[in-house]
């Protein structure tokens, strides 16, 4: 066998070894230089930035939400307050078996799966040492159940919070509103410095309109923390500024009187202080309990409210649209006088119907046999439709539109609540723009008795009635009378006065006719005028919900309740020195004199009696 011998090249190996040493030293040198440069940057150039970050790692600014302001009525009754509430909360790091704990808690309290899923979603957003709410706003029964079982639930505790509470429940729900949890969309739009740490905000009513004032100013605390973010010590604290307290013009006792008087009817009642515009009553029935919305109303309960045929979430006083019916007649009569189309003593004959020249269609009066010859005062007193058909034809739709517009029909009143609608004051221009149709003379006639396209809101009708009582001085309805903070009291600013230029002598027959509505033997609301030492000026109204064929007779007892006429009534009192104006609208109430007028009568009598006693 041949042997193979290798010759070792020591010189080449030495050179390779040296090259490797040089490369390693160069690499080490570059790395060292990089470390030196980085160290110099951290110590000199970036010192201030990284020192701040290091400080923030140990000191956290924790927001301290302010206490929300209280809402009172005009007499100091609390309408919205903050009350202690108890919540069941879990601290994940203290619970060994979370699923078992949740399963036992679910069985103990009968919690739906939705609650457990909500807990898991919230838990993912929190650190393990932070508590997570499972059951907010615990009832006394739930507190008692957990008190007995507490030793078997390590890591589960009860905490106390301030929660908004509405002691009058549905009675003032549409005017006071409610607060609810801030959602993600709202969170993006809110000013973050003011809402850091806040969980709720106003969603409806006064709570929403005056959110900024009620919320207050957020404070903060400087908290020393460890590397995990756990709080160790409070270094400094800037206290929050509580929200302002609001005093409304609303009288909750008067509100209850109006709400209860509506009984089983759906509808609205609005009463206004004639001199100031302060809203005394703002009722929309049915209402709803706002308290469940604060802690989070269950989806099935909200669905039931939203789908109810009675629409309890619908603010009828602010957004309800109704034909004004005969409540518009005093304004049409005043327009006739102001435009010199008729004189108050002038008699017009009513045979029970009215026809346009060359047209067979009969526009019927509510009294089948007619009223005979009537002047303006009697026409208002007995609500003669034929008189106002003729007067409407004399005026024409444009003059009626322009005159009624001065009283605020067809526009928002400016009340300090979100969501108000303007109603509809028809005109030829409106019909052409919206319906691409011309205006017909028959539409002018029915507009003169408050039917057709004309639609008003209850608050708008109350404002117009107050303006009439004020001899043309337009008032703006408002609810917040004063805002009280630690710095003092801020009164609601007075609205600039607007006067409708009316002739004083033209108002006399209008008011006389409205007084007769309540106090004469033939008045349509005579039932409410007995036994009082002053006079009420009022006007009833009955507005059709559906049309009746020519020659057919309306028989309330034979038609479905939902197809019955709406009942309306407007009034002010005392007639010689007006202090309060009221508008009542009752859906499917039938007759304004028998259903709506007594409600207004109760409100007026109670308010004026209270004024006299005080």
What's the CATH code of the domain at 466? 3.40.710.10
Tell whether 114 and 192 lie within a shared domain.
Answer: yes
Number of domains composing the chain: 2
CA angle 492, 240, 215 (to 5 degrees): 40
The verdict on 257 and 243 lying in the same domain is no
d(CA 423, CA 458) in angstroms, rounded, equals 10
Q: Are residues 211 and 257 in the same domain?
A: no
- Asked if residue 22 is part of any domain, the answer here is no
Report the CATH number that the domain containing residue 73 is assigned in CATH.
3.90.1310.10
Where is the domain boundary, 204, 219, 248? 248
State yes or no: pLDDT of 247 exceeds 60.
yes
Q: Tell me which residue of 598, 614, 607 sits closest to 530, measured CA to CA.
A: 598
Residue 141 tokens, joined: 């029964």
Q: Say whether both 476 and 518 belong to one domain.
A: yes
pLDDT single digits (tens) 495-546: 777 899 999 999 999 999 999 999 999 999 998 988 899 999 999 999 876 4
pLDDT tens per residue, range 89-99: 988 888 989 99
pTM of the entire predicted model: 0.83
Does 297 share its domain with 212? no
Please tell me the predicted confidence (pLDDT) of residue 461.
98
Average pLDDT over residues 546-566: 56
Peptide linkage before 328 cis (omega within 30 of 0): no
The model's confidence at residue 6, banded by pLDDT at 50, 70 and 90, is low
- Assess whether pLDDT exceeds 80 at residue 53: no
Secondary element (H or E) of residue 38:
helix 10-40
Report phi then psi at 416, rounded to 5.
-80, 60
- Is the distance from CB of 600 to CB of 582 less than 8 angstroms? yes
Residues 205 and 185 in one domain: yes
Is the residue at 49 inside a domain?
Answer: no
Q: Tell whether 522 and 413 lie within a shared domain.
A: yes
Give the Cα separation of 37 and 42 in Å (integer): 9
* 559/480 same-domain check: yes
- Write out pLDDT tens, residues 500-509: 999 999 999 9
pLDDT band at 493 (very low <50, low <70, confident <90, very high): confident
Same domain, residue pair 205 and 269: no
Region 418-425: mean pLDDT is: 96
Indicate which residue of 87, 173, 284, 326 is catalytic: 326
Same domain, yes or no: 217 and 355: no
Which tokens is 89 given? 């909360």
- Please count the helices (runs of H) and the strands (runs of E) in the chain: 23, 23
Query: Residue 22 — pLDDT band, cuts 50, 70, 90?
Result: confident
Handedness of CA 340, 343, 346, 350 (dihedral sign): positive
Q: Which tokens is 217 given? A: 């100013």
Instruction: Indicate if the alpha-carbon torsion angle 444, 449, 452, 453 is positive or negative.
Output: positive
What is the reported pLDDT for 1? 47
Average pLDDT over residues 331-335: 98
pLDDT at 75: 96
Last residue of a domain, one of 214, 248, 282: 248
Q: Where are the alpha helices (DSSP H) in 41-128?
A: 47-58, 98-109, 113-124
pLDDT reported for residue 42:
63
Asked if the structure places residue 46 within a domain, the reply is no
Backbone φ, ψ for residue 30 (5° rounding) = -65, -45
For residues 468 and 474, give the distance between their C-alpha atoms in angstroms, rounded to a whole number: 8
Going by pLDDT thresholds of 50, 70 and 90, the confidence category of residue 232 is low
Residues 342 and 461 reside in one and the same domain: yes
Let me know if residue 498 belongs to a domain. yes
- List the beta bridge partners of residue 84: 162
223 and 136 in a single domain? The answer is yes
Residue 479 pLDDT more than 90? yes
pLDDT at residue 49 is higher than 70: no
Cα(539)–Cα(112) distance, integer angstroms: 54
SS3 content of the chain, % helix, strand, coil (to 5): 45, 20, 35
CA 196 to CA 97: how far, in whole Å?
33
Active site residue 557: no
235 has pLDDT over 50: yes
Last residue of a domain, one of 228, 248, 268: 248
User: Using CA atoms, how far apart are residues 370 and 357, in angstroms rounded to an integer?
Assistant: 19
Q: Is the pLDDT of residue 50 over 70?
A: no
Q: Which pLDDT value is given to residue 547?
A: 47
CA separation for the pair 215, 201 (Å, rounded): 8
Q: Could you tell me the residue range of the domain that residue 439 belongs to? A: 252-613
């Amino acid at each position: 066998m041949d042997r193979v011998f290798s010759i070792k090249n020591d010189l080449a190996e030495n050179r390779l070894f040296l090259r490797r040493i040089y490369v390693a030293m160069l690499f080490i040198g570059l790395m060292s230089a990089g470390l030196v440069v980085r160290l110099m940057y951290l110590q000199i150039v970036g010192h201030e930035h990284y020192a701040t970050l290091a400080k923030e790692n140990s000191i956290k600014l924790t927001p301290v939400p302010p206490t929300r302001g209280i809402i009172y009525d005009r007499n100091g009754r609390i309408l919205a307050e903050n009350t202690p509430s108890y919540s069941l909360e879990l601290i994940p790091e203290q619970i060994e078996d979370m699923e078992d704990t949740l399963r036992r808690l679910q069985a103990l309290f009968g919690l739906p799966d939705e609650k457990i899923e909500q807990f898991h979603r919230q838990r993912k957003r929190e650190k393990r040492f932070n508590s997570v709410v499972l059951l907010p706003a615990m009832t006394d029964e739930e507190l008692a159940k957990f008190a007995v079982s507490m030793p078997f639930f390590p890591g589960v505790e009860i905490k106390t919070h301030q929660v908004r509470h509405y002691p009058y429940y549905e009675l003032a729900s549409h005017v006071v509103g409610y607060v609810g949890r801030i959602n993600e969309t709202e969170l993006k739009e809110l000013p973050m410095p003011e809402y850091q740490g806040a969980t709720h905000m106003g969603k409806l009513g006064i709570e929403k309109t005056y959110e900024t004032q009620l919320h207050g100013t957020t404070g903060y605390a400087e908290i020393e923390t460890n590397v995990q973010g756990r709080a160790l010590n409070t270094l400094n604290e800037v206290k929050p500024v509580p929200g302002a307290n609001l005093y409304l013009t609303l009288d909750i006792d008067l509100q209850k009187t109006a709400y209860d008087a509506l009984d089983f009817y759906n509808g609205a009642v609005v009463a206004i202080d004639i001199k100031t515009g302060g809203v005394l009553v703002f009722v929309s029935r049915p209402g709803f309990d706002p308290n469940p919305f604060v802690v989070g109303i269950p989806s099935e309960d909200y669905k039931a409210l939203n789908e109810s045929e009675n629409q309890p979430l619908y603010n009828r006083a602010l957004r309800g649209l109704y034909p004004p019916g005969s409540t518009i007649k005093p304004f049409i009569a005043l327009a006739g006088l102001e435009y010199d189309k008729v004189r108050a003593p002038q008699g017009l004959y009513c045979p029970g119907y009215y026809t346009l020249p060359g047209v067979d269609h009969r526009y019927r009066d509510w009294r089948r046999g007619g009223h005979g010859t009537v002047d303006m005062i009697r026409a208002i007193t007995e609500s003669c439709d034929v008189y106002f058909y003729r007067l409407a034809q004399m005026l024409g739709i444009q003059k009626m539109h322009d005159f009624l517009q001065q009283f605020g029909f067809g526009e928002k009143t400016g009340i300090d609540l979100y969501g108000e609608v303007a109603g509809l004051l028809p005109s030829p221009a409106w019909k052409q723009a919206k319906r691409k149709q011309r205006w017909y003379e028959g539409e002018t006639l029915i507009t003169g008795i408050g039917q057709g396209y004309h639609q008003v809101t209850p608050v708008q009708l109350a404002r117009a009635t107050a303006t009439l009582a004020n001899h043309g001085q337009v008032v703006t309805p408002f609810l917040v009378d004063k805002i009280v903070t630690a710095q003092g009291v801020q009164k609601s600013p007075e609205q600039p006065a607007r006067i409708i230029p009316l002739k004083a002598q033209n108002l006399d027959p209008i008011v006389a006719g409205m007084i007769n509505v309540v106090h004469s033997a033939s008045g349509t609301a005579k039932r409410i005028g007995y036994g009082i030492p002053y006079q009420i000026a009022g006007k009833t109204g009955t507005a059709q919900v559906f049309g009746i064929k020519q020659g057919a007779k309306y028989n309330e007892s034979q038609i479905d309740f939902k197809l019955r006429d709406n009942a309306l009534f407007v009034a002010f009192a005392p007639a010689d020195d007006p202090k309060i104006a009221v508008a009542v609208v009752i859906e499917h109430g039938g007759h304004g004199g028998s259903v709506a007028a007594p409600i207004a009568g109760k409100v007026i009598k109670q308010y004026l009696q209270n004024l006299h006693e005080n």
